[in-house]
Copies of this chain bind each other. A is one copy, B any other.
Amino acid sequence: MRSDGRRPDQARQTRIQPGVMPMAEGSALIEVGNTKVLCTASVESTVPRFLRGSGQGWITAEYAMLPRSTTVRTPREVNRGRRSGRTSEIQRLIGRSLRAAVDLERLGERRIVVDCDVLQADGGTRTASISGGWVAMAIAIQDLVEYGVLETTPLKEYVAAISVGIVDGRPLLDLCYEEDSRADVDMNVVMNSIGRLVEVQASAEGRTYSKTQLGLQLDMAETGIKSLISAQQKLVKF
């Protein structure tokens, strides 16, 4: 039994509230256990320089933690003038994952920025950002379709993410912060609604792992992601 009473293969209670930020084109507040991330999607009419004139769109993500999303206050990154390596790595992961859900040519020359602001951090903020960010982005995209800006939806698949770790030699699904800080292996899996992988990142933090373990963890992740995608499917249809 885990510290919060879950079985090893049991994900945390997840709740996604759409439309919480009325000024954004799309938004969602995702709660995964005690982790809370506010996701918004903004549609802009310009694309990065390397895409100008290509007819193709782009999707990027920004990630930040509110100072008191953590039990001890985390200083803002603006204080030292730049994002940390960890933040830029997370932003790149979210961006890549969301782009895998969209037909960028069909999106046309526009950029969607997905902002993920962590209100409360209890492990799994990057995977929650992907699962919740997808909802914010999808709402913004479906609005473009509804208002006739786009003829057909560029959404290709639902995409969600979850973590799996090896703690005390045992694989556990959806680590909370306390488990994450004791994990020997930390793995993040991003998968889409037809069961195909978008991203796998598995890092040995103390002990290495075997190919067999990797496979077991993948299977565990798949179950968790299916349930997240079910939640997404109730909120956005395309």
Alpha-carbon gap, A188 to B20, bound state (A)? 29
- Taking chain A's interface residues, is the majority helix, strand, or loop, or is none over half, making it mixed? mixed
**CB atoms of A91 and B85 under 8 A apart:** yes
Q: Is residue A199 within 8 Å, beta carbon to beta carbon, of the partner chain? A: yes
Q: Is residue A96 within 8 Å, beta carbon to beta carbon, of the partner chain? A: yes
Residues of B within 8 A of A85 (CB): 83, 85, 88-89, 91-92
Q: Is residue A109 within 8 Å, beta carbon to beta carbon, of the partner chain? A: no
**CB atoms of B208 and A66 under 8 A apart:** no
Alpha-carbon gap, A229 to B24, bound state (A)? 32
Question: Digit string of A91-133 for contact with B (CB within 8 Å is 1, else 0)?
Answer: 1100010001000000000000101010110000000000000
Residues of B within 8 A of A49 (CB): none
Residues of B within 8 A of A222 (CB): 211
Question: Digit string of A11-32 for contact with B (CB within 8 Å is 1, else 0)?
Answer: 0000000000111100100000
- Which residues from 163 to 193 on chain A have a C-beta closer than 8 Å to any C-beta of chain B? 192
Residues of B within 8 A of A21 (CB): 66, 68, 119-120
Q: Closest B-chain residue to A78, C-beta based?
A: B78
**CB atoms of B23 and A70 under 8 A apart:** yes
Alpha-carbon gap, A78 to B63, bound state (A)? 11
